[in-house]
Every structure is written in structure tokens, then in C-alpha cells.
């Protein structure tokens, strides 16, 4: 799959997502900051729980971290709850983040089959789409193969997909750690299938997996996994920077350490947000041995 898409890119000036992410982490560190405008956060910032508050929240986060974090991860649901006006704020947020040089990972956790999966791909991964991000999150629980329209379009357009494998929420454990073929867990099956997509891609594949920072060591075997890792669950959910190596083991170094509420709770001061983000970035970079 990856090789076919790579051939389609011949003659086009498309830089692969994996390579771009690797460079961003090398220059800015591994931090990914979530843009999660919870009603409680809006209130604590002195903002109304409406579109104006949403807009101001996004503007402050962009000003604080867009030019210094490797990636920024808007959570689509907190924009969608305001309807079309909220989605318009999300479109604007994505544009501004790109203008500041941040990689945008849109947290939408989409997953479907056939033409619907292709429509999701067009919505978030097609060049020129209003909500086009550098990467999206996707759910594999209709089958990893059902994500092919998203994966193929992402690779073709120099974008990426992070597929849920072992998530940080406790409710996922019973499914993700279920054994499906006498040996592998569901989470391991997802990792193994995505590994095949990235085989032979240099320097790193474009299709990643999501591994929660709270899941503990050896949750999956990442030996030979040639793709990026998104590590949510740091901060309020209980994950700590020192937990990251236990989750990754001797696996890939192209890893994004994702913080949301712990960093965002320092707002609305831009300086305080930057300070919190910089501290989180430095702590995770030290654990992952990333120097910039």
C-alpha cells in the first residue's frame, strides 16, 4: 500500500508526513499540545461558553504555543458542539496553526467503511479541504483495512493518520487487550497491521498509532514498527514523562507526547501557557533523549 502511494507521488513536490514530523520533533521537541476547550476551562479562563469564548480560547492557545510546539491537536468535538459557527472556528484555528508552522493533528477519531471512509478522507486529508490537517486520529474497530481510503489519501498528499491501538482510557482495556488469535491482543493486531503499511518507508512511515501514556510498559511490541507514535494521557489523566520509555520500550523515537488540560489550565496568560508548555516539552525531551 505504502509503495503504491509513493509511486503516485512521483513528479509531485509532496514531502511525506513522517519525515516532516521527524524534523519538527528534532527542531521543536516532542510536545503536542491539545486544544480542548472544555466548558470548565472556558469558565476558568473567564470566557463565556459560546462561540466568542471558543474563538478567544483558540486565539490564546495559538499565540502561546503554535510557534514552539512540534504539533498542536485540536479536539474537534469541542468545536462541533457549537454547530456550524464552531466548525468555522476550527477551520480558522487550523489555518492559523499552519501559518505558525505547527503540525496539526486533528483529533476526530473517525472510522467507517467504503464510500463513507472515503468521504472522511476527503473532509480531513484532501488538499484544499477546509478542515485539512496534517494528520487525523482514526478508529480501527471496523477493521484496519476499512481505513484504507484515509491511509491512501493521507500518504498520497503528504499527510498522516494515527490509528487507535492502546488508549489511555480504562474503558478500552477489555477490548484492546482481548486476545484474538491465541497470542496477539487486539492492540497488537492494530500495531502489526499498521507496521505493514510503513514497511520500507524512509526515514519513517506516515501512518502511526495511538498508545496511551498511562497504559504501562510492554502493552504492545513495537519491534520493527516504522511509524510515529501519539502518546496522549499525560498530565491530568495520570501519565508522567518518565512513563514514556516504558510504553515505547526500544521502539521508535518519532513520538509525540500529548498534553492538554495540564498545560491549558495555566491559561489564559500567554506567558504562563508558554511556561507550562516549555516545561512539559523539556521534561519529555529529556526522557526521550531528544536534543534541539
| Residue burial 236-255, b: 16+ Cβ < 10 Å; e: rest | ebebebebbeebbeebbebb
Identify which of 49, 17, 13, 9 has the alpha carbon closest to the alpha carbon of residue 228. 17
* Residue 92 neighbours by CB distance under 10 Å: 16
Q: Under a CB-based contact definition with an 8 Å cutoff, are residues 137 and 120 in contact?
A: no
Burial track 176-206 (b if 16+ CB lie within 10 A, e otherwise): beeeeeeebbbbbbbbbbbbebbeebeebbb
Annotated catalytic residues are 109
CA distance 220 to 226: 14
Amino acid at each position: 500500500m505504502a509503495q503504491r502511494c509513493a509511486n503516485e507521488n512521483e513528479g509531485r513536490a509532496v514531502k511525506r508526513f513522517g519525515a516532516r514530523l521527524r524534523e519538527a520533533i528534532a527542531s521543536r521537541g516532542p510536545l503536542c499540545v491539545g486544544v480542548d476547550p472544555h466548558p470548565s476551562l472556558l469558565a476558568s479562563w473567564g470566557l463565556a461558553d459560546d462561540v466568542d469564548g471558543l474563538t478567544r480560547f483558540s486565539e490564546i492557545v495559538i499565540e502561546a504555543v503554535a510557534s514552539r510546539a512540534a504539533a498542536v491537536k485540536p479536539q474537534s468535538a469541542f468545536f462541533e458542539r457549537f454547530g456550524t459557527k464552531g466548525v468555522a472556528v476550527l477551520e480558522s484555528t487550523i489555518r492559523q496553526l499552519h501559518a505558525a508552522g505547527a503540525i496539526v493533528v486533528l483529533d476526530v477519531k473517525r472510522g467507517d467503511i467504503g464510500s463513507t471512509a472515503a468521504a472522511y478522507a476527503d473532509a480531513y486529508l484532501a488538499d484544499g479541504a477546509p478542515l485539512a490537517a496534517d494528520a487525523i486520529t482514526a478508529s480501527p474497530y471496523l477493521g484496519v483495512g476499512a481505513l484504507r481510503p484515509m491511509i491512501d489519501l493521507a500518504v498520497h498528499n503528504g499527510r498522516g493518520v494515527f490509528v487507535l491501538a492502546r488508549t489511555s482510557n480504562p474503558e478500552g482495556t477489555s477490548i484492546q487487550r482481548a486476545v484474538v488469535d491465541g497470542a496477539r491482543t487486539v492492540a497488537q493486531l492494530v500495531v502489526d497491521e499498521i507496521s505493514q503499511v510503513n514497511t520500507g518507508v524512509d526515514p519513517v512511515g506516515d501512518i502511526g498509532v495511538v498508545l496511551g501514556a498511562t497504559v504501562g510498559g510492554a502493552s504492545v511490541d513495537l519491534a520493527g514498527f516504522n511509524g510515529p507514535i501519539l502518546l496522549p494521557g499525560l498530565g491530568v489523566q495520570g501519565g508522567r514523562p518518565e512513563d514514556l520509555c516504558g510504553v515505547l520500550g526500544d521502539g521508535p523515537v518519532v513520538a509525540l507526547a500529548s498534553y492538554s488540560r495540564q498545560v491549558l489550565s495555566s491559561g489564559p496568560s500567554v506567558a504562563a501557557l508558554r511556561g507550562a508548555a516549555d516545561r512539559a516539552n523539556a521534561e519529555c525531551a529529556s526522557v526521550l533523549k531528544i536534543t534541539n
